[in-house]
Amino acid sequence: MARSNKADRELTEVFNQLWALDTNRLTPGTDYVISLQGKAGYVAQGSNNARDRAHAPLFSYVNEEKLKSIETYAHFINLLDNYESSTGVSETVTTEELKENRLFIDAIMETDVMKCTHNYLVRKRLSPSNPQQFKKQLYDIWFKLYHRDRNGGEDSCGFEHVFVGETKYNHEIMGLHNWVQFYLQEKHGNVDYKGYKARQNKDTPDEDDHVLSLQFSWKGLVKPMGSSFIGVSPEFEVALFTIIFLMSTEKMTSVEVKVDEYVLELVVYRHGRSIATSYPKLLSSNNRDL
């Protein structure tokens, strides 16, 4: 396990550059509105009994027209539909889906966030300078299918686990760390938000926070706690986790960084040359101690 305990200065600097370049990040209170409601209680891993401290959805409003008018989100939303959520069910990848994977990579590569990421990785000698070869590297990290379940076929990929979410043996939620997917699943009645997670009462999050810890159920299964970026673009998340993934060959890498006002631990697990999972863990915000 590779880990840096103190806030990593170089990565903090790079990630804040990317934060500043993320012009596709949505504005809380304008482009979307969330309703945090109550603080969620303790739920043991594997238990599906959670008291609902939030009777309304997390997302009260999202400007979907704006979302779908931004190219990277439009391709991202297409991709969310393409994955079977049960691990162990072999993915049938159609030519159309392969094309959509590539269109998403093409779209994010047009953004300043990914151009800056590419330049940084080339400087660090972690990525090829040729944009086509870099796209292939991104493809292998995020879209190459692998066996997550030993008994099954090629049933998983990094993108699916991190952004879409999967269920394991129908009794545990894996992944689902993305706010757009959370919103869409909530809208379709598959996600039930149970409340925010915070250590101590002094640590109540704000409704304009861009990183939150949540408790929710998805298709009847409870996730006791999951952290997500809220409102950030898909390219921003791909950028952060790609950089951390390429920094190390360890099975698990975790770095502590301060992005904007958020002190985060960013965690990446690898599966060979692909991402197994990655997520943010909120340590503190606005100098609040979590």
Banded pLDDT at 289 (limits 50, 70, 90): very low
Q: What gap in Å lies between CA 250 and CA 252, rounded to an integer?
A: 5
Give the pLDDT of residue 218: 81
Is 177 annotated as catalytic?
A: yes
Q: What gap in Å lies between CA 60 and CA 34, rounded to an integer?
A: 5
Which one of the listed residues 75, 118, 135, 161 is annotated catalytic? 161
Per-residue pLDDT reduced to its tens digit, 187-245: 989 888 888 887 665 567 888 889 888 878 787 777 767 788 999 999 999 999 999 99
Q: What gap in Å lies between CA 5 and CA 26, rounded to an integer?
A: 31
Is 118 annotated as catalytic?
A: no
Q: What gap in Å lies between CA 144 and CA 74, rounded to an integer?
A: 21
CB 135 within 8 A of CB 106: yes
Mean pLDDT of 264-270: 90
Is 75 annotated as catalytic?
A: no
Q: Which residue from 221, 219, 240 is spatially nearest to 229, judged by alpha carbons?
A: 240
Give the pLDDT of residue 87: 46
Which one of the listed residues 177, 194, 197, 210 is annotated catalytic? 177
Residue ranges covered by each domain of the chain: 9-40+47-250
